[in-house]
Chain A
């Protein structure tokens, strides 16, 4: 009781001369109230603070803003992914190059001695496609499971979770850069010259495949939280998808002729070609081959002097416009994927 009295007295002395006393709602807390006002003033003095809304539906714009604010986190997550993968191996990053180098060597032996298809320097044609495909496949596969794998963070820390899916694409891109070193080494070894005048085509092509991969990554990572076998389904589909783009076969000789002469299931051939190019990976793969392999017409190495068309004879304009179409469609898909992600995100913490 003595304590109460003491605080009441202090309140009496606290009254300001103009009679503006604090609300007498809880008179015993006047010193505490004064303390609070001081603290509120200090809080206000710290200046502008961004507001954040946590609700079932958060506007798309707000989510993009928050994604942008977390860009440093994106870098750290990509770095983490790469470090964790190679932390304990002596050769470190070399491993990520050794694997594709070995693949290249094996395919070189295979297509030169056992399965000669007559296309000169075929490994380079093939590897140009593999580069793109590995980037795409690694992004999508690792992103699909990323939310589930990172359940520990998702359940305990608040951050835009799409970052995790995007970081999968980011780290796949870093591996893509390592693998590019391998193809450069092989091109030097074979003294195979890329088309320097068309090298700028790589920019729209990469942009297109990255945005497309990001769209799938964001969508699948969210779905996989609810349907855990999405992961396996994606694996199987990706394997089939690989063959839908001209990676291990020449486009012009087989595909183009085949598609324009036959019709499958009564689908006319013009539609077949259209379907073939509806695969967003195809134009990107073909752009890479266009730049790195750069051989349209040549002579077969198997039957001397027999003319051979390896790639489609399209001009740069065709490649550019195809890639831009893929980019445009992918941007729409990414928008859709982010929307779906936003809807599904609300229950992540409880589903995991």
Chain B
């Protein structure tokens, strides 16, 4: 059975005009008529996507990739410049919790006002009022003016109203990070409840973990275009891949620039090449958790060098070191003779989960003088087909028995 389409995004484009200086008054508009330079910025470009009913779809992408714009188009806050979005059913957007609260009104009055802004009828609010108050944990303060609320109370009330609106489509923009951990967990539980009810959820986040945890599918946006989509795991992989290709500056790059500065003038031995090999090499652009990996490093010595140390590092996308070792630690002094050579680092098993990892190698003297270092361009991706999350692929087994 093909599910009905809950959100149909058809060729949606959105253009923003960026003016050097924005004129707001009639006088200024007349004075600067026709010669106010602007740049067109396409926040979205021909994005098409169908979200079937009951699906939870994540939208991932860098800042400025158009995620929030798409979300606003779906929820009807922005009208697309071209194309259209057809939404079946009631939409509730959680773009900013407590948007539209009136500080002068009491919590009770705000619940009614906010709920009706989100499209809920008074009768429905009457019915759910106690639920909303209980969810927000504001029983004692509900008749106080909202201006006396703490920011936590404010946000809780906002979320409580929004999730009680009973939407068919829930649009969420990274609001789960708010509130204390306890409340976040409660929100997440509520979202899962929503999923089980067969409601459609569109979800923007940076967190790959959340995507894996909640989403059925995810779409990747980059520079306003739909770069790809797939199951949560595929999309995360795509996203990491895209990030790597588009050369997001990471710590790694900075450290290399620093290295560049204090490279010794005399370099008797240099790295000439480097590549990776895993069982999927050639057939797929990623490896699975637990597969073996070999790093081949080619080097060339212009003169015989004694006591060479090869270093090896694996870093995550943020530049954090996940693994580092060198041949000195392995208790293996190496004396390189003049000419070219190759060293292979072999990992029997790479127990990593989703992500793009860069491999850096270096050659130095046993005394610590760095001869050469390659740190940025070689990477491998891991795609985890299972549901486990995190960084390390532990072997896990679950045994259940009656006790």
Q: In the complex, A156 Cα to B158 Cα: how many Å?
A: 12
Q: List 19 A-B contacts (CB under 8 A).
A: A2-B396, A36-B54, A40-B52, A41-B198, A43-B197, A43-B198, A52-B91, A54-B80, A54-B86, A55-B83, A70-B119, A72-B116, A76-B112, A83-B105, A157-B99, A159-B118, A228-B25, A347-B79, A349-B72
Q: In the bound complex, do residue B89 and residue A49 qualify as a contact, i.e. CB atoms below 8 Å apart?
A: yes
The segment from A25-33, A236-244, A267-275 that touches chain B is: A25-33
Q: Does B323 lie at the interface of the complex (its beta carbon under 8 Å from any beta carbon of A)?
A: no
Please indicate the chain A residues that have their CB under 8 angstroms from the CB of B385 in the complex: 4, 28
Distance, CA A2 to CA B83, complexed state (A) = 45
Asked if B53 is an interface residue, CB under 8 A from chain A, the answer is yes
Which residue of the partner chain, among B82, B109, B200, contacts A43 with CB atoms under 8 Å? B200
Say if the beta carbon of A45 comes within 8 Å of chain B. Answer: yes
Q: Is the CB of A72 within 8 A of B198?
A: no
B286 at interface, CB cutoff 8 A: no
- Which of B83, B102, B121 is packed against the most chain A CB atoms within 10 Å? B102
Cβ contacts under 8 Å, A45 to chain B: 198
How many Å lie between the Cα of A49 and that of B88 in the bound state?
6
B247 touches A (CB below 8 Å): no
- Cβ of A65 under 8 Å from chain B: no
The CA-CA distance from A346 to B85 in the complex, in Å, is 14
A152 near B99 (CB under 8 angstroms)? yes
Is A76 touching B24 in the complex (CB atoms < 8 A)? Answer: no
Q: Give the number of residues in B that approach A within 8 Å (Cβ atoms).
A: 70
Q: Given A50-B89, A73-B117, A158-B93, A43–B77 Cβ distance below 8 Å?
A: no
Check B168–A46 contact: CB distance below 8 A.
Answer: yes
Return A4 CB to nearest CB of chain B, in Å: 5
Please determine whether B112 and A229 come into contact, CB atoms closer than 8 angstroms.
no
A39 interfacial by beta-carbon distance below 8 Å: yes
Q: A50-B90, A51-B89, A55-B83 are in contact. List 11 more A-B contacts (CB 8 A).
A: A1-B288, A28-B386, A29-B231, A40-B55, A42-B198, A43-B168, A51-B87, A53-B86, A70-B119, A72-B121, A73-B116
In the complex, which residues of chain A have a beta carbon less than 8 angstroms from the beta carbon of B76? 52, 54, 158
Measured CA separation A73–B27 after assembly (Å): 36
A345 within 8 A of B: yes
Chain B residue contacts of A58, Cβ below 8 A: 79
Minimum C-beta distance from B122 to chain A (A): 6
Q: Give Cα distance in the complex from A87 to B122, angstroms.
A: 22
User: B25, A229: Cβ atoms under 8 Å?
Assistant: yes
Distance (Å) between the CB of A76 and the closest chain B CB?
5
Interface membership of A56, Cβ < 8 A: yes
* Distance of A227 Cα from B55 Cα, bound (Å): 43
A15 sits at the interface (CB 8 A): no
Asked if A262 is an interface residue, CB under 8 A from chain B, the answer is no
| Residues of B with C-beta under 8 A to A229 | 24-27
* Chain B residues within an 8 Å CB radius of A153: 99-100, 117
Is A44's beta carbon under 8 Å from chain B? yes
Query: Are A72 and B1 in contact, with the CB atoms below 8 A?
Result: no
Smallest CB separation, A43 vs chain B (Å): 4
Q: Is the CB of A3 within 8 A of B388?
A: yes
* Total inter-chain residue pairs, C-beta < 8 Å: 181
Binary CB contact string for chain A from 79 to 99 against chain B (1 if under 8 A, 0 otherwise): 010011001100000000000
In the assembled complex, how far is the CB of residue B135 from the closest CB belonging to chain A, in whole angstroms?
20
A54 touches B87 (CB 8 A): yes
Partner of A49, one of B90, B102, B216: B90
Q: Which of B293-336 contact A (CB under 8 A)?
A: none
Is B127 on the interface with A (CB-CB < 8 A)? Answer: no
Minimal Cβ-Cβ distance residue in A for B125:
A72
- The residue in A56, A58, A77 that gathers the most chain B C-beta atoms within 10 A of its C-beta is A56
Please judge, given known A-B contacts A53-B85, A152-B99, whether A157 and B105 are in contact too, CB under 8 Å.
Answer: no
Complex Cα spacing A44 to B104, Å = 41
Smallest beta-carbon distance B125→chain A, Å: 9
B67-109 CB mask vs A (1 if < 8 Å, else 0) is 0000011111111111111111111010110011010110001
Report how far A49 CA is from B167 CA in the complex, Å. Answer: 10
Are the CB atoms of B80 and A55 closer together than 8 Å? yes
Question: When the two chains form their complex, are residues A83 and B77 in contact, meaning their CB atoms are under 8 A apart?
Answer: no
> Number of A residues contacting the other chain (C-beta, 8 Å)?
58
- By the criterion CB–CB under 8 Å, are A55 and B79 in contact? yes
- In chain A, what residue has the closest Cβ to B74? A54
| Any A CB within 8 A of the CB of B130 | no
Verify if A37 is at the interface (C-beta below 8 Å from B): yes
Closest-by-CB residue of A relative to B121 is A72
**Complexed CA–CA distance, A55 and B9 (Å):** 10
* Chain B: minimal CB distance from A287 (Å): 35
- Contact call A76/B116, Cβ cutoff below 8 A: yes
Instruction: Report B287 CB to chain A, min CB distance, Å.
Output: 12
Contact with A along B146-183 (1 / 0, CB 8 A): 00000000000000000000001000000000000000
Nearest chain A residue, comparing its CB with the CB of B22: A351
A157 CA to B100 CA, complexed, in Å: 8
Contact with B along A3-19 (1 / 0, CB 8 A): 11001000000000000
Q: Cβ of A189 < 8 Å from any Cβ of B?
A: no
**Do the beta carbons of B117 and A157 come within 8 Å of each other?**
yes
Residue B195 at the A interface, CB < 8 A? yes
The listed residue with most B CB atoms (<10 A of its CB), out of A41, A72, A229, is A72
Does B403 touch A at the CB level, under 8 Å?
Answer: no
- Contact indicator A157/B87 (Cβ below 8 Å): no
Closest beta carbon of chain A to B400's beta carbon, Å: 13
Tell me if A158 and B26 are in contact (CB < 8 A): no
Q: When each residue 158-175 of chain A gets 1 if its CB lies under 8 Å from chain B and 0 otherwise, what string results?
A: 110000000000000000
Rounded to whole angstroms, the CA-CA distance of A1 and B288 in the bound complex is: 8
Query: Do B93 and A80 touch (CB < 8 A)?
Result: no
Contact for B24 among A53, A159, A228, CB less than 8 A? A228
A43 touches B199 (CB 8 A): yes
Give A228 to B288 CA distance when docked, in angstroms. 58
Which A residues touch B4, using CB under 8 A?
A: 40, 43-44
Residues of B within 8 A of A49 (CB): 88-90, 168
Smallest Cβ distance from B186 to chain A, in angstroms? 21
Residues of A close to B118: CB separation below 8 A: 157, 159
User: Is A32's CB under 8 angstroms from B79's CB?
Assistant: no
Query: Residue on A with the closest CB to B95?
Result: A156
Give the residues from 110 to 165 in chain A that come closer than 8 angstroms, CB to CB, to chain B.
152-153, 155-159
A54 to B82 CA separation, bound complex (whole angstroms): 10
Asked if B93 and A157 make an inter-chain contact with CB atoms under 8 angstroms apart, the answer reads: yes
